[in-house]
């Protein structure tokens, strides 16, 4: 196998995922009149009127939090609030401000050193997509007939029963006709879209359901075209399971690391998980994990793919496709705090789903897609400060972004591991138990006797003696991080 190259900037990135209709709205973008109230409960079909200039106007907020990169759910012209039903791949939705708004957002983000990746929906289009509409109007005579897989005419795009509309569609949903990527003109169209927006200035693509395009050659060509346009572009796929097939260095740079989110939910929430909500999303079910099982899963995930891939995995705790973490944890903030500490101290690029950092709750779609509460009186300010502090910790220590990972201890509801790069060495301790623990933490082989460690968030200091950090208190449902202050 040739050497695997992944974008170096991702190793240092902290992502923030934005659902464009629900994050922020600018008065500079004209709006239609029939919009939902911003603070009302989100609905399946309703629009709240968020836009890209609204995001541009809130970049100070993101930078203050520590965010360095944004992942946007789809922004192209669509008749759906989530915009996975693409009408025009070359036009930003006018409700979001159009192409000019994206230009302003990219310019302002890049001026601040922030990256932007977009959602690429290349498996399916929509009933309003021009080439599909052409078939609806002209039937088998349409020159675009082979852009889709039609098996019965006339097509019935508004037929309610799945599979009875005369063409292949994603999950049988008639609103999402599946593109026929075996057709050369379709392949070239999608590749051109990918390169067009990279040339426009975006920094990469998050690929929606790429496994549905079951064609290695297509994705290999996609990578070649993308990297030839921008060698630094990030290509991350939405695959919820073992993605080794796509992560050999010739297709994707990384995937959305849902297995890490599952592990955090299984360990930090465990038996208290809201399994009814879990069952409604792609998780289906999540088993409780004890400390040794959680540690073993962290190690397994680190060894699943080649190291250059692992270092740029998209490490999320929630997304538009899952109930919010706090809802799955039945309101337990300590679970989210512990999971966030893992995110910020584990290899890969952490991603915050908009609003999680202020305690936003919501069940499965559409509940997890509520409007961001810009009245900070509605925030959990302590949670926001904690997330910001964890991000700052990650940014202050190269070892947390690029260092080696070493398992140190697992038991009694506690997991501890080390991160090291050169002289920068840290110990991360996570106590998921409902009672405090005082540890005799073994570090022989990782830290030598006489090394002094400083708690990164307090004045406490500890010395390695006899291969152990003795008398290390860890409060219940909490974590602490120690950094090497002096070594001998």
**Could you list the active site residues?**
208, 238
Supply angle C-alpha 413, 262, 373, rounded to 5.
Answer: 100
Residue 218 contacts residue 188 (beta carbons within 8 Å): no
Phi, psi of 356 (to 5 degrees): -60, -35
DSSP calls for 220-237:
HHHHHHHHHH-TT-EEEE
The helix (H) or strand (E) run that includes residue 134 is helix 130-138
First to last CA, the chain: 41
Tell me how far apart the alpha carbons of residues 229 and 173 are, in angstroms, rounded to a whole number: 34
| DSSP label of 348 | S
Residue among 184, 74, 77, 78 nearest 120 (CA): 74
Tell me how far apart the alpha carbons of residues 37 and 22 are, in angstroms, rounded to a whole number: 11
The three-class DSSP label of residue 74 is coil
Residue 145 contacts residue 131 (beta carbons within 8 Å): no
Tell me how far apart the alpha carbons of residues 430 and 476 are, in angstroms, rounded to a whole number: 9
CA distances from 336 to 182, 240, 266, 473 (A): 43, 20, 12, 21
Q: At what angle do helices 381-396 and 333-345 cross, to 10 degrees?
A: 10
Phi, psi of 394 (to 5 degrees): -60, -40
Radius of gyration of the chain (CA): 24
């Amino acid at each position: 196998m040739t050497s695997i190259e992944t974008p170096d900037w991702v190793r240092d990135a902290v992502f923030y995922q934005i659902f464009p209709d629900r994050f922020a709205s600018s008065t500079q973008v004209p709006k239609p009149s029939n919009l939902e109230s911003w603070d009302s409960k989100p609905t399946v079909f309703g629009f709240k009127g968020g836009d890209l200039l609204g995001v541009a106007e809130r970049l100070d907020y993101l930078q203050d939090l520590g965010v360095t990169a944004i992942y946007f759910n789809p922004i192209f012209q669509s008749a759906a609030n989530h915009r996975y039903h693409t009408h025009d791949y070359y036009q930003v939705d006018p409700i979001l401000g159009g192409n000019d708004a994206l230009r302003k957002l990219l310019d302002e983000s890049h001026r601040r050193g922030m990256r932007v990746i977009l959602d690429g929906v290349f498996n399916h289009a929509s009933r309003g997509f021009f080439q599909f509409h052409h078939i609806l109007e002209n039937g088998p005579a349409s020159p675009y007939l082979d852009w889709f897989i039609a098996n019965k005419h006339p097509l019935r795009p508004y037929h309610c029963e799945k599979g009875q509309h005369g063409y292949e569609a994603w999950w049988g949903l008639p609103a999402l006709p599946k593109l026929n990527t075996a057709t050369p003109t379709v392949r070239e169209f999608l590749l051109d879209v990918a390169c067009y927006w990279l040339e426009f200035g975006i920094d990469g693509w998050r690929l929606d359901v790429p496994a549905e395009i079951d064609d290695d050659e297509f994705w290999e060509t996609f990578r070649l075209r993308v990297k030839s346009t921008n060698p630094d572009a990030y290509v991350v796929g939405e695959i919820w399971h073992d993605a080794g097939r796509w992560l050999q260095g010739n297709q994707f740079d990384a995937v959305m690391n849902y297995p890490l989110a599952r592990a955090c939910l299984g360990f930090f929430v465990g038996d208290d998980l809201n399994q009814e909500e879990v069952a409604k999303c792609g998780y289906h079910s999540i088993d409780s994990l004890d400390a040794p099982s959680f540690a073993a899963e962290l190690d397994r995930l680190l060894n699943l793919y080649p190291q250059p891939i692992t270092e740029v995995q998209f490490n999320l705790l929630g997304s538009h496709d899952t109930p919010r973490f706090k809802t799955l944890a039945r309101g337990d903030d300590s679970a989210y705090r512990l999971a966030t500490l893992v995110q910020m101290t584990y290899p890969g690029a952490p991603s915050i789903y908009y609003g999680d950092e202020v305690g936003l709750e919501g069940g499965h779609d559409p509940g997890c897609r509520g409007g961001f509460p810009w009245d900070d009186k509605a925030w959990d300010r302590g949670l926001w400060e904690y997330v910001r502090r964890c991000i700052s910790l990650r940014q202050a220590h190269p070892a947390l972004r690029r260092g080696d990972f070493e398992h140190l201890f697992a038991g009694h509801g506690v997991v501890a591991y080390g991160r090291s790069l050169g002289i920068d060495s840290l110990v991360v301790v996570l106590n998921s138990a409902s009672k405090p623990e005082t540890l005799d933490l073994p570090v022989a082989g990782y830290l030598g006797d006489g090394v002094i460690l400083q708690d990164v968030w307090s004045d406490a200091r500890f010395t390695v003696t006899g291969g152990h950090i003795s008398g290390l208190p860890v409060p219940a449902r909490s974590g602490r991080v120690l950094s090497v202050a002096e070594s001998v």
